[in-house]
Structure 1
């Protein structure tokens, strides 16, 4: 049985040129689950459909990943791949800004083979399953939440068709699959909903992502996301216990689950042995949520004298000087912090549960530990004044992090901001292609694009052209000279400065 997993093409229309392509680790997880179903089902810890068990026993699954981010003409590549590979099942993933591509992908695939079953999963699909299916006539199934076991069960249903069942019988089997929205066998306009899919119980037992399905040499992330190449993303936990209003938790929800430090290190060792990878970026919402976990993980890296470099996301309230020094010793060179705003009032409004003083402490202590820091800021929250946005830029300059990035606020599907906007009828449109963080406002209670676009451009110019900032770089390079630091400085200049000028 053949399964084709597809990453949608990029949408590039940024105020800044964020050049970098990340590996679709979600697809690599799906691929490994399909090819090693026994390990996946052990991790899951719940009952599964007999069809998926029969599939495991009767026929191996041949999985390919097609990443359309690389191609100038992705539709020609897609058509050719479907024609050559002849998949029985296609799985597509997408963020909100790329969602417009999903139905076109499905349409191109159906033109080659009308019998192929097409699923759509990921953040956007999980946040708006019914709306997505109604807007995408060529998609058959929406996968909600964690997709590994759901896709395996769907594959079992498709395999039953290969055993002689009709298409309608396959759709009947789909009614037993948890965690999906799908079209009725008799009336394709009618959308059916199955019960929710339970979360995977033991993350340590999930097979490692199938990075061998990706062309690793083609992936070069944004310069702040790696220290040396080759590099890869890695995930040590799923879910986030916090409830910030701008954040979507449609896939992993708020239930926080961690892998053991030993299991994460085992994956890092595997990456080094198989692919020569010794540089990692943690995709977790915040690696530092559990200080006990961080301490144990860093001790493992230090005691085993590993030569790994890594970066991660963190909340500003989670780090301590002692923790940061230990992380530095363990190979961490860079932390990303969601500072968001220069207003304590807005921090409360968005339910961030941090303060400006937390941000000051986090950046200061990270700098003192000898690590880079990246501070993220969001401007134009609903009802935010121009003065408040300007204060955010002022606060960013006060913090003086190694890097800063600024974005327009967008109500992402799955977030409280989006739910509030739907409830209050403040959405201007749902043209997802223009939900990027540098696109015009989509809420009626936001400042105009003319005002905020200029603020966004000025933020970068003000931040990166300051004497204090430039002197920080000169001092850092003088004290800790390395070719990598020089490369990162020039990458930063190329990324942030040329596209600022009009």
Structure 2
């Protein structure tokens, strides 16, 4: 199919198939950024969200339950994937009903190209279901898959997803040339893939209800933690200017009523004097009544007393610290991000600035290769004694990370055979079978 005129491009955020899922300020920002680039160059862009919590067909769509952009997804019980039948948990499709999705697909004007994103590698069954329904409804329209799963498990995605084409790595580098190849439409580029300030705004206005706006002030991370794939997904560190970031925030706040903003950066506070501090000063000067959230972890050692006070004045409401473990004497093989003294000092600064214990959470990894539950319990106790909230983050084995080999060796599953076995809900790197008793005990201990 060729369309030398500006094409109609459909963006799709696929379903999640999992044992558990919850909307923590989640939006497919990478996909919507590509949509912004395409629309800015003249393409018609539409968006369908299989996770839409506000779909008009849902009885709960008019509920005011959304708090700060968080809330439960609609879910439907489905069969567990092969190999996970022994897990004593319910497996579900999270998101809208498939017949609503097909109806929305068929109501669109003719589509020339479909772009589907992907996130967690073990969520690929939801991606596959989404693409299959697209193909059955739109027939010969090409479907392109990008995102985290497509990048980290590209061979598996080519064999399994049903997509006609894969984009691995940052999509902005090839989006226009790829669309040209697949549709025959060749606009003259007027943005710089390496200059984030040249990017147009993402197409967040296509959301049915903009209960929060994601904000990305930088790409990449200078650290190479053993459990993290950030460097594989974004090999180069790039930053936007503080003025560009605040201009976008003011736009979403003024024109679309967004009050909650979630920073998606992997390294928001790194080199704070030249980035975070001038950014926060400009946010304060803009005088917006907003709440700021950091679902991605902040680097603890960067939090000084002046920065903590700036964060409080700027409107930070939810802070997550990248602590991971309090076994500080044994963490050298994982990362070198923080010492015990730096953690306790950062907590004191945040408390002095006015943050409550329920606003500041420290992520603690559970389910690491060779890790015992007692180690996690001790970390929980240390965090609670410091006066902040322990937040359990279940470890996901990720291909191409330094810890991957240890994860493969420790797992009771064949992690290399199928990404489905890397699901963090099943504690795949523990030699014992999944235990509700251990999971419940950790959850109860982590409560304030």
What range describes the TM-score normalised by the shorter chain of this pair? 0.7 to 0.9
Greater helix content: 1
Paired position in structure 1 for 2:47: 65
Paired position in structure 1 for 2:205: 212
Deviations 1:99-130 (A, max 9, x none): 11222222222223332111111111111212
| Structure 2: distance between partners of 1:319 and 1:89 | 45
How many residues are matched? 387
1:238 maps onto 2:219 in alignment: yes
Shift in alpha-carbon separation, 1:36–1:428, aligned structure 2, 3 A: same
Paired position in structure 2 for 1:75: 98
Paired position in structure 2 for 1:417: 403
SS in 1 for 2:103: helix
Paired position in structure 1 for 2:252: 271
Q: Measure how far apart 1:203 and its partner are.
A: 0.4
Q: Measure how far apart 1:350 and its partner are.
A: 0.9
Task: Determine which structure has more spread, i.e. the larger CA radius of gyration.
Answer: 1
In the alignment, is the contact (CA less than 8 A) between 1:121 and 1:143 conserved in 2? yes
| Structure 2: distance between partners of 1:334 and 1:370 | 13
Deviations 1:476-497 (A, max 9, x none): xxxxxxxxxxxxxxxxxxxxxx
Paired position in structure 2 for 1:146: 170
Paired position in structure 2 for 1:48: none
In the alignment, is the contact (CA less than 8 A) between 1:4 and 1:91 conserved in 2? yes
In the alignment, is the contact (CA less than 8 A) between 1:7 and 1:24 conserved in 2? yes
- Residue from 315, 320, 325 that aligns with 2:309: 325
| Structure 1: distance between partners of 2:372 and 2:411 | 21
Query: What is the Cα-based RMSD across aligned positions, in Å?
Result: 2.6
Paired position in structure 1 for 2:80: none
Q: How does 1:67-466 map to 2 (within 5 A)?
A: 67-70=49-52, 74-85=97-108, 86-95=110-119, 96-136=121-161, 138-160=162-184, 200-217=193-210, 230-249=211-230, 252-292=233-273, 293-312=275-294, 313-371=297-355, 372-401=359-388, 403-418=389-404, 421=407, 428-429=414-415, 430-433=417-420, 435-437=422-424, 439-443=425-429, 446-450=430-434, 453-464=436-447
Q: Measure how far apart 1:213 and its partner are.
A: 1.1
| Structure 2: distance between partners of 1:432 and 1:216 | 33
| Structure 2: distance between partners of 1:304 and 1:449 | 53
| Structure 2: distance between partners of 1:302 and 1:112 | 48
Q: How does 1:15-54 map to 2 (within 5 A)?
A: 18=22, 20=24, 22-37=26-41
Shift in alpha-carbon separation, 1:431–1:69, aligned structure 2, 3 A: farther
Q: 316-325 or 83-92: which moved more? A: 83-92
In the alignment, is the contact (CA less than 8 A) between 1:4 and 1:90 conserved in 2? yes
Q: Measure how far apart 1:69 and its partner are.
A: 1.0
| Structure 1: distance between partners of 2:269 and 2:379 | 25
In the alignment, is the contact (CA less than 8 A) between 1:2 and 1:88 conserved in 2? yes
Shift in alpha-carbon separation, 1:340–1:128, aligned structure 2, 3 A: same
| Structure 2: distance between partners of 1:460 and 1:400 | 17
Q: Measure how far apart 1:339 and its partner are.
A: 1.0
In the alignment, is the contact (CA less than 8 A) between 1:239 and 1:255 conserved in 2? yes
Deviations 1:150-178 (A, max 9, x none): 23222211222x89xxxxxxxxxxxxxxx
Q: TM-score scaled to structure 1, two decimals? A: 0.71
Shift in alpha-carbon separation, 1:21–1:290, aligned structure 2, 3 A: closer
Q: TM-score scaled to structure 2, two decimals? A: 0.79
SS in 1 for 2:337: coil
